[in-house]
């Protein structure tokens, strides 16, 4: 445990000082302020912000995370040459990425929203949801990043794989859902679509966030199915748990490879 | 004391180490030499535990290292390329490795003074030159007055002055009883430093023993010629 804490502290410090992270924080800050100022009133601005969070967060987490691990290769070797277990080094890397990325989100998106919420108390609830889901998504895609960087030996291919993960979760998966919907439109599809949504962290995050903003009706019949499912406290817990599972699975798979990896 | 027996390692289809047997004794400098792709770095990394063993045993002071990590308390390692977290300072890196060695290890940071590294230690690593990083790398390897140091091309990237300081350090450590195990492709350096030489070729040990024995057997006065003879002779 103390080993993990030491590695974690060093990694967090290293990532927090990187220009990349500062840039990311400023980008989120800028996007949030601009959307709040010019993005229309109340919910409209928040909805645009949801899209930023859903696209940008996973992209930055998975790409920055993957590249960071490749760059840290020699340092990982140096750490492993110390009397330290591989688990401490691996989790230290994960936390060292996930914590600063989450802090960037809290500062960049959370900061301006808190100012907004001080004037308009109705913003508190969507604010809390947005940040919770955002942190969970950061965990999920940092876990994917580690998994990719451990499994794919070559840096350029790892970068490609990281982009593919992001594309698969954003564009490709939605395309597949649409395909299923159009192909089987004569059948009742609520249950299968619900399951499919549950399996993709970004879709799951989107549904949870949209429901917070009471725009479920805009999503038609499936929207009401979702509202019935996620509107309850139990549904919300299920959704959050599922996001944690989505982070745990790649994290665990990456560790299995990391433990046996030759450096 | 390092003892390796029947060590085999393959990466996919490529068999890098094909049954390596060797020893490195305390108080002596043992140099591992061989052509490119002979498996030198893989062998070094196996000793540190960075590369997993397929077959065979690596014993340090009679203890198998397989799956262990405590033995690394007593080993210093200097990898070929030194890269540290770019945003940390040298001092922070040294503090980190110190905290990772929980044992009440004796600290030997004499190299910091000898390299005149102290003024550089508070600057972020990213602002340091390759040579300075390599010096830091050497400091880390010797920081805990290890029983055994393993060095992969230690003088690569160092200027002649720094290289001389490091070589003196190796000689003094060996004289004090440390097992020094290094790879190098600079044969004049090996001739100057090493007591024993291990010639690795195509994943096997082609020669192992004191340098003068190799010279005698080859009938050559210089190591470079003797090694060249080994390389062509076994083809």
| B164-192 pLDDT per residue, tens | 999 999 999 999 999 999 998 888 899 89
Q: In what order do the strands lie in the sheet with B75-78?
A: B75-78, B148-152, B179-183, B29-33, B196-201, B204-210
The predicted pLDDT at position A110 comes to 93
Q: Please state, as a whole number, how many other Cβ atoms lie within 10 Å of the Cβ of residue B10.
A: 13
A11 reaches B (C-beta below 8 A) = yes
Angle (CA) B94-A256-B7 rounded to 5° is: 75
A73 near B CB under 8 A:
yes
Confidence of residue B31 (pLDDT cuts 50, 70, 90): very high
- A10 inside 8 A of chain B by CB: yes
Decide if pLDDT at B46 tops 60. Answer: yes
CB contact under 8 A, B69 and A18: no
pLDDT at B235 (0 to 100) = 45
Q: What are phi and psi of B19, to 5 degrees?
A: 90, 75
Facing B85 at nearest CB: one of A3, A72, A81:
A72
Scan residues 126-165 of B and list those with Cβ closer than 8 Å to A: 140
Contact state of B50 with A80 under an 8 Å Cβ cutoff: yes
- A107 and chain B: CB distance < 8 Å anywhere? no
Let me know: does A246 contact A140? Beta carbons within 8 Å: yes
How near does any CA of chain B get to the CA of A53, in Å?
27
Among chain A residues, CA nearest to B77: A81
Tell me the shortest Cα–Cα distance from B99 to chain A, in angstroms: 7
* Smallest Cα distance from B175 to chain A, Å: 24
How do residues B115-137 score in pLDDT, each as one tens digit? 999 999 999 999 999 899 999 99
- Spell out the per-residue pLDDT of chain A, length 263, in tens: 688 999 999 999 999 999 999 999 999 999 999 988 887 766 777 888 888 888 999 999 999 999 999 988 888 998 999 989 899 999 999 999 999 999 999 999 999 989 888 888 888 888 898 999 999 999 999 999 999 999 998 999 999 999 999 999 888 888 888 888 888 878 877 777 778 878 889 988 888 888 777 665 555 555 666 777 776 777 788 889 999 999 999 999 999 999 989 88
What is the reported pLDDT for A190?
74
- Residue to mutate among A20, A82, A153, A261, with most B CBs inside 10 A, is A82
Q: Report yes or no: B45 at the A interface, CB cutoff 8 Å.
A: yes
What is the C-alpha separation between A221 and A239, in angstroms, rounded? Answer: 20
Q: Which pLDDT value is given to residue B228? A: 84
Quick check: A14 and B77 CB within 8 A?
no
- Higher confidence at residue A246 or residue B106? A246
Q: Which residue of A has its CA nearest to B51?
A: A262
The mean predicted confidence, pLDDT, of chain B is 89
Nearest CA to CA, how far is A95 from chain B (Å)?
Answer: 15
**Weakest-pLDDT range from A147-156, A175-184, B101-110, B203-212:** B101-110
| Assigned token pair, B160 | 């002649």
């Amino acid at each position: 445990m103390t080993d993990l804490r030491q590695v974690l502290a060093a990694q967090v410090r290293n990532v927090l000082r990187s220009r990349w992270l500062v840039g990311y924080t400023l980008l989120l800050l800028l996007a949030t302020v601009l959307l709040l100022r010019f993005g229309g009133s109340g919910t409209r601005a928040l909805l645009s912000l949801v899209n930023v969070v859903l696209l940008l967060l996973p992209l930055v987490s998975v790409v920055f995370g993957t590249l960071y691990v490749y760059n840290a290769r020699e340092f990982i070797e140096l750490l492993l040459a110390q009397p330290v277990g591989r688990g401490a080094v691996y989790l230290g890397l994960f936390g060292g990425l996930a914590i600063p990325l989450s802090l960037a989100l809290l500062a960049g998106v959370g900061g301006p929203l808190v100012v907004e919420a001080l004037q308009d108390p109705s913003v508190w609830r969507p604010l809390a949801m947005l940040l919770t889901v955002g942190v969970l998504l950061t965990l999920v895609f940092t876990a994917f990043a580690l998994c990719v960087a451990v499994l794919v030996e070559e840096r350029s291919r790892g970068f490609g794989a990281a982009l593919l993960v992001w594309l698969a979760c954003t564009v490709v998966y939605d395309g597949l859902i649409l395909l299923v919907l159009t192909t089987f439109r004569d059948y009742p599809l609520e249950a299968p679509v619900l399951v499919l949504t549950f399996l993709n962290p970004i879709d799951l995050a989107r549904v949870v966030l949209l429901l917070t903003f009471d725009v479920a009706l805009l999503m038609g019949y499936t929207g009401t199915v979702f509202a019935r499912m996620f509107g309850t406290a139990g549904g919300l817990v299920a959704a959050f748990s599922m996001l944690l599972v989505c982070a745990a699975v790649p994290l665990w798979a990456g560790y299995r490879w990391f433990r046996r990896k030759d450096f | 004391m390092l003892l390796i027996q029947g060590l085999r390692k393959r990466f996919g289809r490529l068999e890098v180490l094909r049954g390596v047997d060797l020893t490195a004794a305390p108080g002596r400098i043992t140099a591992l030499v061989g052509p490119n792709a002979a498996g030198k770095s893989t062998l070094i990394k196996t000793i540190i535990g960075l590369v997993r063993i397929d077959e065979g045993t690596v014993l340090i002071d009679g203890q198998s290292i397989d799956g262990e990590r405590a033995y690394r308390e007593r080993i210093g390692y200097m990898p070929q390329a030194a890269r540290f977290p770019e945003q940390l300072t040298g001092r922070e890196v040294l503090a980190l490795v110190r905290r990772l060695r929980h044992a009440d290890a004796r600290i030997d940071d004499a190299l910091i003074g000898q390299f005149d590294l102290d003024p550089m230690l508070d600057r972020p690593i990213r602002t340091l030159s390759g040579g300075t990083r390599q010096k830091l790398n050497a400091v880390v390897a010797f920081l805990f007055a290890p029983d055994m140091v393993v060095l992969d091309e230690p003088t690569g990237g160092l200027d002649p002055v720094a290289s001389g300081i490091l070589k003196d350090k190796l000689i003094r450590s060996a004289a004090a009883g440390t097992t020094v195990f290094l790879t190098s492709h600079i044969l004049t350096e090996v001739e100057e430093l090493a007591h024993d030489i291990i010639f690795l070729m195509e994943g096997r040990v082609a020669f192992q023993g004191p340098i003068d024995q190799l010279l005698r057997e080859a009938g050559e006065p210089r190591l470079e010629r003797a090694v060249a003879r080994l390389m062509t002779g076994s083809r």
